[in-house]
C-alpha cells in the first residue's frame, strides 16, 4: 500500500510557495495514494502563537486544503493536536534520535538565529515530532518542498534506528516526493531567500487570500534586474529574481521552464510581469475565493477536521500499540 502523510503549519500568511511547493501537489496525488493531510498545530507552537489566531489559522489551512481540491471523504484531513498518538510516538522517538543528528538541522539554526539559548525546546525537537507524524501511519511517501528534505532524512534515520534497536521491521523507510517546477519558490524581494510566512515584508510573498489588485501590485514591485529576460536556463546564472519569476510562471501554467523561456525570453520584465499577473490571478483567484467561502462556514470546516481526527486516530492506535510492545511497555490489565 502506498500511503502519504504531509502537513502544513497553521502559522498564518499561507503563500504561493506553500501552494505550489506542497498543497497543489497534495491534491494531484489523490488518485494514486491513500492520503493523510494534517494541519500541524503542535509544530506551530514551537514558536509563539496567539491562541485566537492559531484557531483561525487552523481553519484557514483546512480551507486551503479543501479549496485546492482535496476530497475529505476519500482521504483524511485533520489537525495534529486532536490525535494524541503524535505526541506519544514523538516521546519514544526523542529517545531514539541522537543529539548529534538534531545539531545538524539547518532549519533550527535559521529559525533560532542568534537567540539560540532562548529558542523553545520544542523548536529543537521539531524534526522528531515530524518523524513521529509520518511514522505513526507508516506512510511510505511525503510530498514536500525542497526545504524539508533534511527533515525527511532524519525521519528515515529515526525509523531505521528504531527497527535496528528493537530488532523488528516496524517502520517503512519513507520516500520524499519533491516534484513540479516550484519546489523552492523564492521571496519576491530577494531571489536568494525562500518565500516564507515569517518574512516581515508582505511584499515578499503572494498570499492565498490576496485579491487581483494585491497580486498585481506585488508582482509589479517584485525585484528584478535591468536586463531583458534570459533566453535559456544558463542565463539564470547570477540572476535569482529572473529565475524565480520564470519558475513561478512555469509552475502556475504547468509548463516546463524551457517552454516559458522560448515564449518570453528576450522580453522586458514589465511585459513579462503583466503576463505573470494575469496568469497568477487566473490560477490563484478561484482557489482564494473558494477559501473565503469555506472560511465563512466554520461549522463545515470543523466537521471535516473532527471526522478526519477520528479516522486518523483509528489508524494510529494499533501502530502505536505495536511500537509500545516492541519497546517493552507493559500493558497490565
Ligand atoms: N518557498 C517555498 N517554496 C516551495 N515550497 C515551500 N514550502 C514552504 N515554503 C516553500 C512547503 O510548504 C509546506 C508547508 O510548510 P510549513 O507551513 O510546514 O512550514 P515552512 O516550510 O516553515 O513554511 P514557511 O512558509 O517557510 O514558514 P516559516 O516562515 O514559518 O518558515 C512544506 O512542504 C514546505 O516544504
pLDDT in tens, 52-101: 999 999 999 999 999 999 999 999 999 999 999 999 999 999 999 999 99
d(CA 16, ligand 1 centre) in Å? 10
d(CA 17, ligand 1 centre) in Å? 7
Closest atom of ligand 1 to 47 CA is 30
Please report, for the chain, the start and end positions of each structural domain, with discontinuous segments joined by +: 3-182+298-332, 202-293
Instruction: Give CA–CA dist 181/69, Å, rounded.
Output: 20
pLDDT at 242 over 80: yes
3-182+298-332 in CATH: which number?
3.40.50.620
What's the pTM value of the predicted model, to 2 decimals?
0.96
Q: Which fold has domain 202-293?
A: Tyrosyl-Transfer RNA Synthetase (1.10.240)
pLDDT recorded at residue 106: 96
- Residues 189-220 have pLDDT tens digits of 999 999 999 999 999 999 999 999 999 999 99
The torsion angles phi and psi of 171, rounded to 5 degrees, stand at: -110, 145
User: Among 39, 189, 196, which residue has the most ligand 1 atoms within 8 Å of its CB, making it the best to mutate?
Assistant: 196
Cell of 282: 487566473
- Residues 121-176 have pLDDT tens digits of 999 999 999 999 999 999 999 999 889 999 999 999 999 999 999 999 999 999 99
User: Among 17, 180, 204, which residue has the most ligand 1 atoms within 8 Å of its CB, making it the best to mutate?
Assistant: 17
Query: Any residues with CB less than 8 A from the CB of 25 and at least 6 apart, and which?
Result: 143, 177, 179, 180
Give yes or no for residue 77 CB within 6 A of ligand 1. Answer: no
Give yes or no for residue 204 CB within 6 A of ligand 1. Answer: no
Closest atom of ligand 1 to 146 CA is 35
Amino acid at each position: 500500500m502506498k500511503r502519504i502523510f504531509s502537513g502544513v503549519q497553521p502559522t498564518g500568511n499561507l503563500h504561493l510557495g506553500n501552494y505550489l511547493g506542497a498543497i497543489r501537489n497534495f491534491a494531484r496525488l489523490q488518485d494514486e495514494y491513500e492520503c493523510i493531510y494534517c494541519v500541524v498545530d503542535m509544530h506551530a507552537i514551537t514558536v509563539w502563537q496567539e491562541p485566537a489566531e492559531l484557531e483561525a489559522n487552523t481553519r484557514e489551512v483546512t480551507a486551503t486544503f479543501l479549496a485546492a481540491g482535496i476530497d475529505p471523504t476519500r482521504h483524511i484531513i485533520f489537525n495534529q493536536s486532536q490525535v494524541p498518538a503524535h505526541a506519544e510516538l514523538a516521546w519514544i522517538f526523542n529517545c531514539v534520535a541522537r543529539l548529534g543528528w538534531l545539531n545538524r538541522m539547518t532549519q533550527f539554526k535559521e529559525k533560532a538565529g542568534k537567540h539560540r539559548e532562548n529558542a523553545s525546546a520544542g523548536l529543537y525537537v521539531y524534526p522528531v515530532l515530524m518523524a513521529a507524524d509520518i511514522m505513526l501511519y507508516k506512510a511510505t511517501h511525503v510530498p514536500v518542498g525542497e526545504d524539508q528534505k533534511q527533515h525527511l532524512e532524519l525521519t528515515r534515520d529515526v525509523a531505521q534506528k528504531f527497527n535496528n534497536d528493537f530488532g523488528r521491521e516496524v517502520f517503512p523507510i519513507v520516500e520524499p516526493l519533491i516534484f513540479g517546477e516550484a519546489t523552492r519558490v523564492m521571496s519576491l524581494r530577494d531571489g536568494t531567500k525562500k518565500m516564507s510566512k515569517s518574512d516581515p515584508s508582505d511584499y515578499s510573498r503572494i498570499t492565498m487570500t490576496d485579491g487581483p489588485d494585491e497580486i498585481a501590485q506585488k508582482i509589479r514591485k517584485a525585484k528584478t534586474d535591468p536586463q531583458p529576460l534570459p533566453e535559456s536556463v544558463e542565463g539564470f546564472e547570477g540572476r535569482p529574481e529572473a529565475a524565480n519569476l520564470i519558475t513561478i510562471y512555469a509552475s502556475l501554467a504547468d509548463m516546463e521552464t524551457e517552454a516559458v523561456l522560448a515564449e518570453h525570453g528576450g522580453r522586458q520584465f514589465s511585459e513579462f510581469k503583466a503576463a505573470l499577473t494575469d496568469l497568477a490571478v487566473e490560477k490563484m483567484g478561484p482557489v482564494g475565493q473558494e477559501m473565503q467561502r469555506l472560511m465563512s462556514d466554520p461549522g463545515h470546516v470543523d466537521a471535516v477536521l473532527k471526522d478526519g481526527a477520528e479516522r486518523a486516530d483509528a489508524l494510529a492506535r494499533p501502530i502505536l500499540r505495536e511500537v509500545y510492545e516492541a519497546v517493552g511497555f507493559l500493558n497490565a490489565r
